[in-house]
Amino acid sequence: MDQTLTVAFLGLLEGLTEFLPVSSTGHLLLAGHFLSFDSKGRTFEVVIQLGAILALTSVYAAMVTQLFLRARHDDAARRAIVSILLAFLPAVVVGLLAHDFIKTVLFETPMLIAIMLILGGFVLLVIDRIAPARCTGMRWRCRWANRWRSGFVSAWRWFLGSAGPGRRLSARC
| Residue-number span of the structural domain to which 152 is assigned | 3-170
Q: What is the mean pLDDT of residues 159-169?
A: 50
- Convert the pLDDT of each residue in 37-94 to its tens digit: 988 878 888 888 888 788 878 888 988 899 999 999 999 899 888 888 887 888 888 8
Contact 173, 134 (CB under 8 A): yes
Query: Is the overall model pTM greater than 0.75, yes or no?
Result: no
The predicted structure's pLDDT at residue 157: 59
Q: CA angle, 118 as apex, 126 and 157 as ends, to 5°?
A: 75
Using the predicted structure, report yes or no on whether residue 20 has a pLDDT greater than 80. Answer: no
Give how many domains the chain has, as a whole number.
1
